[in-house]
Amino acid sequence: MITTEQLNPEQQQGVYTVNGPVLILAGAGSGKTRVLTNRTAYLIKERYVDPFNILAITFTNKAAAEMRRRINELVGHGAEGIWISTFHSCCVRILRRYADRIGYDTGFTIYDSDDSNSLMKDVLKRLEIDNKIIKEKTALNAISSAKNELIDTARFRVDAGGDFKYLKLASIYEEYQNSLKKNNAMDFDDLIMNTVKLLSMDNEVRNAYQERFQYIMVDEYQDTNTAQFALIELLAGKYKNLCVVGDDDQSIYKFRGANIRNILDFEKVYPDATVIKLEQNYRSTKNILNAANEVIANNIGRKAKALWTESEEGDKVKFEQFDNGQEEAIYIVADIARRVGAGECEYKDCAVLYRTNAQSRLLEERFVNRGIPYKLIGGVNFYSRKEIKDILAYLKTIDNGKDDLAVTRILNVPKRGIGQTTEGRIADYAYANGMSFYDALKKASEIQGVSAAVKKIEPFVALIEDLRGILATSGIEQTVEKLLEKTGYVEDLVIENTDESRARIENIDELISKIVDYEKNEENPTLSGFLEEVALVAEVDSLDEDSDYVILMTLHGAKGLEFKNVYMSGMEDGLFPSYMSISSGNNDDLEEERRLCYVGITRAKKTLTMTAARARMLRGETQYNPVSRFIKELPKEVMDGYYKPPKTEDMPVNDTFKRAKASWKNNSFAESVSAYKSMADIKTGKDMGSASAGLDYAVGDRVSHIKFGEGMVLEIKDGGRDYEVTVDFDEAGVRKMFASFAKLKRC
């Protein structure tokens, strides 16, 4: 018998309400994992539900592993029968068994983003589409969005109507899907879409899984997209014992296709649903929670709730504003060093969060200078590094010779002298004869114009066949060892003898360690299974909580994590919230940015420090932005260093700033008084003489910019080869730019 005495009343209700649709609105730090694990244990131990009939869906492998660990502790023997997996892993498991019913081989390859990008380059080249007109990323984003909405190639073409660009994208989508099918490969979006297709079309398969999954639980429901919603609805279609857990206030993945309406409209889809709110927070102090509640209350599109805690009030939320990004980075690093030096915490208790990856550079430099260990989360994924991609491409070719992308990647790794012309003729032959590139390599002697390269191609084919034989008798590790030996891959890196080559060797060693671990712990290890596991690994899953280093990561990457001390840097309008969300005119975009701020605040357990810079260099431009509106939404009583707008009398009194003076009250002008005090004696356009002789505008004039809109010229400096122009744009704030690049036009 399980005990739920340690749960609060709302958590207990979530555990015991097991029949019918249930929506658990779980605020940040409210113990939702505890509810899900106890709910599962209750189903098995008290309601005698066979673990075989339970499905639990999470968004990361790490969360799935943690849930399984906790359930095992509560239930013990038998819990291994529960399906606990991510959406993608669940779909792969279904497709590995039934993909042949929708025209795929069950041994299909899973393409990651790099694979998809490489394939898209080939598609654009084949269709003779200039990637300057339609970029690979643009096409892939359009296709991903379509798949997330379950829009197939036929419907995409119909929806394109007579629009020339969308008709081009329709052709790209069709060729991309044909290429995937030919390679017996699926990208990540296909895994969901094809499973929905399978369950929708095949009554036998659908009935089998509906009968199996009599109780379904979905975590992080606010992050589901339309395709994932359809998948869950299909699986739960018979018994409707569906429990979804999420927080609409933490829906921050719209750019990945997440549809917040899935959670907001749950009761419309399931009118008889039971709604349970978990509002007691077990993570943060009162001051931090009050700050979070006040910020998110400004959103309209949300379900009403407010976090509360029995914890202490704690330190106030600290706010600091600096003259520039360098000073901001120096302060953050010094404050972390002070805390650790005083014995208040360890490095691993501290995390610095920011809106964009580009903000990490200044912080990294300061951490290096101070000798403070840190880890950048969200950089180059281990499995995206060249040497790892090369070895995985070999393994994919050994496992699935139909994957043209993998074969062409390694055809000249190491260099075999097989030229692009030869490769192109082989590819054309394969395409014309409806065969894989690898099968065409086997017939190289029959291909016109390739005979001179046959002696170079045959050893490659022989190597793959030899390695397939080793795999069959000796396993994955021995196959990789032989692969490295026969290709001389590591030997070449040893000869190179550079820091980079040594790091690559270390990465290869780490991959081998991963393979050994997989073969040791997997009941029936296969190369397909290993490649599948690797393809589904998320970067955040690699966070080692036992290592002592400061964590640097984006706010998006921080979701689901918690830290004793959190620093939120770059709290400036134009950076956070982003300029795009402010200028789009769509309130939904701004509300998503505010939810992202809420997520950042609620990562903090004990202390929260928020920082801003008056001037910041971004993409080569010095930008002067106001303090973030999210700072101004924080209640004064929880703040230490609450933001105060500068007084009007502190401003320069030149005529150039008349409009600016009037706008200080509503803070539409930049918060960078010190940066402009030197302009008190700024010259007018006439006084500048030759300095602006080549321009058709002067200081004080209104100008327009193709991206930033209209604004007023504040300063023009002669930079020798070009003029440096400072403009206060009505919407984008103050920007410094070179005249020849800015192409400003006088209004």
Catalytic residue set = 32-33, 219-220, 250, 603
Using alpha carbons, select from 186, 9, 171 the residue that is nearest to residue 102. 186
Instruction: Identify the bridge partners of residue 627 per DSSP, sorted by sequence position.
Output: 572
CA distance 223 to 217: 14
Sheet with strand 242-246: strands edge to edge: 83-86, 54-58, 215-218, 242-246, 22-26, 274-278
Secondary structure tally for the chain: helices H, strands E: 32, 21
Q: Helix H segments across 475-584?
A: 476-487, 489-496, 499-521, 527-535, 555-558, 579-583
Q: Are 543 and 560 in contact (CB under 8 A)?
A: no
Q: Helix H segments across 690-747?
A: 739-742
Q: Are 322 and 643 in contact (CB under 8 A)?
A: no
CA distance 111 to 100: 18
Q: Are 298 and 633 in contact (CB under 8 A)?
A: yes
Strands (E), 250-316: 274-278
DSSP string, 129-140: --TTTS-HHHHH
Q: Are 699 and 685 in contact (CB under 8 A)?
A: yes
CA dist 513 → 471, 473, 507, 525 (Å): 17, 20, 10, 15
Instruction: Identify the bridge partners of residue 55 per DSSP, sorted by sequence position.
Output: 83, 216
CA distance 98 to 197: 11
Show Cβ contacts of residue 430 under 8 Å, excluding neighbours closer than 6 positions. Answer: 404, 436, 437, 439, 440
CA distance 530 to 514: 9
3-class secondary-structure state, position 249: helix
CA distance 445 to 451: 6
3-class secondary-structure state, position 653: coil
Return the sign of the alpha-carbon dihedral for residues 371, 377, 379, 385: positive
CA distance 674 to 268: 54
Task: Say how many C-beta atoms besides its own lie within 10 A of residue 535's C-beta.
Answer: 21
CA distance 328 to 671: 15
DSSP 726: E
Instruction: Identify the bridge partners of residue 244 per DSSP, sorted by sequence position.
Output: 23, 218
CA distance 744 to 741: 9
